[in-house]
């Protein structure tokens, strides 16, 4: 809800995703995008659907600018349905179409629901490996002569 909390969360290597409540959605500033570019920006589809109708155009405009800035600084973007019951479920292609409205290409919008979440899972699985020490640091077993 505040940029100070966002910055602190982005410094913590345990944080994978940042999402901003749609009700408090603000423009992502250039300096903030640079600082938090090591985490993934999550956009929750259901939160956009549930806001008041007169707020939807403003929310879409802000999301579009935030996504443009996130792309500029190579911040991965993922989308999630945010569904709390079966009736709120949407297909990935339906949600990907919405991301195209926000300025992503067809491939990028499909990646928000496939490749980008999969990359987070693979990165976290590699951290569970006994050879993992830190980001970019691996233990290499000693060869016996």
Over the stretch 36-70, which tens digit does the pLDDT of each residue have?
Answer: 767 788 888 888 888 888 888 888 888 888 888 88
Q: What share of the chain is helix, strand, coil (3-state, %, to 5)?
A: 50, 10, 35
Closest Cα partner for 88 from 50, 42, 41? 50
Asked which of 4-8, 25-29, 30-34, 59-63 is least confident by mean pLDDT, the reply is 25-29
DSSP structure class, residue 39: S
121-126: long-range contacts (C-beta < 8 A, 24 or more apart)?
A: 124/16
pTM: 0.75
């Amino acid at each position: 809800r505040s940029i100070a909390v966002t910055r602190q969360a982005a410094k913590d290597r345990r944080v994978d995703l940042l999402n901003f409540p749609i009700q408090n959605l603000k423009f992502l500033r250039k300096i903030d995008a640079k600082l938090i570019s090591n985490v993934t920006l999550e956009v929750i589809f259901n939160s956009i659907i549930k806001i008041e109708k007169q707020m939807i155009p403003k929310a879409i405009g802000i999301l579009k600018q935030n996504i443009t800035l996130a792309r500029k600084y190579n911040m991965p973007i993922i989308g999630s349905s945010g569904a709390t019951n079966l009736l709120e479920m949407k297909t990935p292609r339906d949600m990907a179409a919405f991301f195209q409205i926000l300025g992503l290409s067809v491939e990028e919008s499909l990646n928000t629901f496939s490749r980008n979440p999969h990359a987070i899972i693979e990165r976290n699985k590699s951290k569970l490996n006994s050879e993992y020490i830190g980001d970019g640091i691996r233990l290499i077993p000693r060869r016996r002569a």
